[in-house]
Structure 1
Amino acid sequence: MIDLKQLQREVYQNKVEKGFNITDICREFCYLQGELAEAFEAYDRREPGLGEELADVAIYLLGLAEILHVDLESEIVRKIEINRKRKYVTENGVLKKAEG
């Protein structure tokens, strides 16, 4: 089983050891967005390496979570439960979150 908490720490430690950014939060969000764009480009062009690009997205996300002291594993588990309980309706052919 994967331990996201440990992966967060490992990603952060790698950033520290390599001298990568760990203080400019805005820059980290931009890097994350850039990695997501690269993943989309690989998908859109049907290029090999989509998995590696998605891994880059996950790595940047884990690193950002560690920098911000967010327990991403707990947040994912909590959000999955919220989504599991959420009800949806289709209105005019569009799936929407039900009120209430």
Structure 2
Amino acid sequence: MELAFTGQVIEWRGPSPYYFVPVPWEESADIHQVASMASYGWGVIPVEARIGAVAFTTSLFPKDGRYLLPLKAAVRMPQGLAAGDEVEIELTVRRQ
């Protein structure tokens, strides 16, 4: 499954800060349809993502009926991304 969407970078405060882009409701519903074939446990969904020129693999986290796309420093820093920035994302759900 391939998706493209725009989202806003959010900061999740905890013991150390994490950054995510919430997947929009419609795309989250589409992902939920294939979640049982893609998840390798705990409800996380393995994906390949691209923001600008940076491609990376990660796992979506379920949160309140939607999914969150984590953004590692190696993804954010080269593009100067910070909380509040709008980003265009290409996402491919990987099946296990």
TM-score bracket for the superposition, by shorter chain length: under 0.3
Q: By percentage of residues, which structure has more helix?
A: 1
Tell me the TM-score normalized by structure 2. 0.24
- Bigger relative contact order, structure 1 or 2 (CA pairs below 8 A, ≥6 apart): 2
Tell me the TM-score normalized by structure 1. 0.24
